[in-house]
C-alpha cells in the first residue's frame, strides 16, 4: 500500500487551466445552491438567501484560488511535479476539502442558519465534496489527455528522425569471456540486472541478448557520445531509433520496441529529455 502511495503523480500547475476550473466550479456551486437550497436556505428571506448563496460560492472560489493558484506560485519547489506523489495528492485534496468545509461551517454560523445536528454536518460535507470530486476528475482526465497527446506527437517525430551510424561498440565484462561487441545501429536497449547489464540487440529480424558483468553506469559512459541513447529509467538505456510506439496513460509513458514483447517504462524525470531528443 505504501509503495502505491509513494508513486509519482503529476501536480497540476497550469494556472490558466486552474483559473477556468475555479470559475466553472464556483458557477456550478452557485447553481447547485440555488436549485437544492441546503443549509435551510429556502427558509431565508429573498435578500438573505442570495447573500447566503453568494457567500458560499465566494468561499469556494477563495479556497480554490488559494490552493490551486496562490500557494503553488509562491512555493514552486514544494509543488513541483518531480516531487509530487499519490499520497501528497490525496492529503492535499483532503486539506482543500477541510478548508472548504470549515469555511462553509463558519459562514453558515455567521448567517445564523447553522443548526447543530448530524443532518447539517452531512449537508456541509456533501456540498464541500462536490467541488473536490469535480477537481479530481478534471485533473485526472487532463493528465491522461496530456500524456496521450504528447505520446502521439512523439510517435510522429519518431518516424521523421531515424538516423543510426554504423560503428562497433564494446562492453567489457569483469569476466573477459562475457565481453560483447555489437554495432551501435543494432543496439535496442540495455537493462540493469543487479551486478550485470543485459544487452539487447537486433540481428537481422532476431532479437538477441547477453548478460555482461558490468554496471549500467559504465554502459552509460560508453554510450555517452551517442545522442540517440537515453537513460529513460533508472534501470534502462534505450536507443530511441528503435522505438516503434509510445503510449501515455495515467501512470505515465511506456515505450514499445520493434519485435520486443514487453514495454519499457519512462521515468517522470526523463519525459522532457525523451521529448527533446525526438
- Per-residue pLDDT tens for 26-75? 998 889 888 888 777 778 888 888 888 899 899 999 999 999 999 988 88
What pLDDT, on a 0 to 100 scale, did the predictor assign at position 66? Answer: 93
Q: Residues 91, 132: contact at Cβ < 8 Å?
A: no
Structural domain spans, the chain: 2-145, 161-277
What pLDDT, on a 0 to 100 scale, did the predictor assign at position 116? Answer: 47
> pLDDT per residue over 209-260, tens digit each?
999 999 999 999 999 888 889 898 989 999 988 888 888 766 678 888 878 8
pTM reported for the whole predicted model: 0.56
Task: Provide CATH code, domain 161-277.
Answer: 2.40.50.1020
**Could you give the CA distance from residue 243 to residue 83 in angstroms, rounded to a whole number?**
28
Q: Residue 163's pLDDT band (boundaries 50, 70, 90)?
A: low
Judge whether residue 129 has pLDDT over 50. Answer: yes
What pLDDT, on a 0 to 100 scale, did the predictor assign at position 120? Answer: 67
**Could you give the CA distance from residue 113 to residue 244 in angstroms, rounded to a whole number?**
63
**Residue 39 CA neighbour count, 13 Å, CB half:** 30
Taking Cα atoms as reference points, which of 237, 221, 139 lies closest to residue 229? Answer: 237
What pLDDT, on a 0 to 100 scale, did the predictor assign at position 39? Answer: 72
Q: Containing H/E element for 181?
A: strand 180-183
Amino acid at each position: 500500500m505504501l509503495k502505491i502511495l509513494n508513486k509519482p503523480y503529476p501536480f497540476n500547475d497550469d494556472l490558466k487551466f486552474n483559473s477556468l476550473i475555479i470559475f466553472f466550479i464556483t458557477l456550478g456551486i452557485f447553481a447547485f445552491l440555488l436549485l437544492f437550497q441546503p443549509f435551510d436556505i429556502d427558509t431565508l428571506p429573498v435578500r438573505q438567501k442570495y447573500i447566503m448563496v453568494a457567500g458560499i460560492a465566494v468561499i469556494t472560489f477563495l479556497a480554490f484560488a488559494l490552493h490551486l493558484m496562490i500557494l503553488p506560485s509562491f512555493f514552486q519547489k514544494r509543488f513541483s511535479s518531480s516531487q509530487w506523489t499519490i499520497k501528497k495528492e490525496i492529503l492535499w485534496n483532503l486539506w482543500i476539502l477541510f478548508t472548504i468545509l470549515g469555511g462553509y461551517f463558519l459562514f453558515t454560523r455567521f448567517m445564523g442558519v447553522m443548526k447543530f445536528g448530524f443532518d447539517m454536518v452531512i449537508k456541509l460535507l456533501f456540498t464541500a465534496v462536490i467541488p473536490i470530486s469535480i477537481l479530481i476528475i478534471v485533473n485526472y482526465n487532463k493528465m491522461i489527455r496530456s500524456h496521450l497527446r504528447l505520446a502521439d506527437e512523439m510517435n510522429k517525430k519518431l518516424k521523421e528522425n531515424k538516423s543510426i551510424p554504423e560503428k562497433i561498440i564494446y562492453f567489457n565484462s569483469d569476466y573477459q569471456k562475457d565481453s560483447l561487441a555489437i554495432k551501435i545501429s543494432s543496439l535496442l536497449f540495455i537493462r540493469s540486472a543487479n551486478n550485470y547489464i543485459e544487452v539487447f540487440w537486433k540481428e537481422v529480424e532476431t532479437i538477441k541478448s547477453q548478460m555482461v558483468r558490468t554496471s549500467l553506469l559504465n554502459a552509460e559512459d560508453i554510450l555517452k557520445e551517442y545522442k540517440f541513447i537515453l537513460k529513460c529509467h533508472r534501470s534502462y538505456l534505450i536507443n530511441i531509433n528503435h522505438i516503434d510506439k509510445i503510449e501515455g496513460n495515467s501512470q505515465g509513458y511506456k515505450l514499445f520496441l520493434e519485435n520486443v514483447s514487453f514495454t519499457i517504462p519512462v521515468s517522470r524525470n526523463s519525459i522532457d529529455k525523451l521529448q527533446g531528443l525526438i
